Amino acid sequence: MENNHSTNSELPSAVKLLKSTVLAIVIAGVILVTTVLPAEYGIDPSGIGEMLGLKRMGDIKTELAQERIAAESDKNAKVEQMSIAQSDAKPTNYISQKGEIKIALKANEGRELKVFMKKGDQISYEWSTDGEAVYFSAHTDSGEEFTYSEGSKNEDKGILKAFCDGRHGWWYKNRTQKPMVLTLKIEGKYADFREDY
């Protein structure tokens, strides 16, 4: 036997073993409740995860997982919609112009601003919130998918060069617990700058 307990008397007592098992469960429970569950799932009954700053990580992980699932079903629905409405949805009035849209984002709300552009055309853009950082993803989903930039900031500006013909836009998600106002200004050759419903 490889257990090194050659005689019965060398074995730890039944009570000691039981105490050790309970101790292991208690230690595991403490680690789970204070760190693992807050950090992985945002579950934080003790409030310690919040203190350690781990709950936020769990909240975001859970949110991202939900968003991914939502985005996947959304994409399937959009593909169907687009194939029906594509021909009449494409605007033709591409001209050099300026535009500005202001949106209010409630706590945890996500909204998307879209613009139509032709491949290779450029617009300059500038956006900012009235306070905290917002999660954003600038991308196109017109046939080809491409992400221009992504992150969490309270302002950003730059040049967007259309990767392909079609819709390009900014998805904004307010991950804070407070409402915020966001303003996006663009200038260049584009058509039909509006919020995507």
Q: Which residues bind other proteins (CB under 8 A)?
A: 1-5, 8, 11-14, 16-17, 19-25, 27-29, 31-32, 35-37, 40-41, 43, 62
In the complex, minimum distance from the CB of residue 152 to other proteins, in angstroms, rounded to a whole number: 20
- Residue closer to other proteins, measured from CB, 24 or 51: 24
Residue 172 CA to residue 35 CA, distance in Å, equals 30
Q: Is the dihedral of CA 47, 70, 162, 189 positive or negative?
A: negative
Residue 27 CA to residue 110 CA, distance in Å, equals 40
159: β partners: 124
In the complex, minimum distance from the CB of residue 27 to other proteins, in angstroms, rounded to a whole number: 4
Residue 141 CA to residue 80 CA, distance in Å, equals 13
- Residue closer to other proteins, measured from CB, 71 or 181: 71
In the complex, minimum distance from the CB of residue 77 to other proteins, in angstroms, rounded to a whole number: 22
- Residue closer to other proteins, measured from CB, 37 or 123: 37
End-to-end CA distance of the chain: 70
- Residue closer to other proteins, measured from CB, 5 or 157: 5
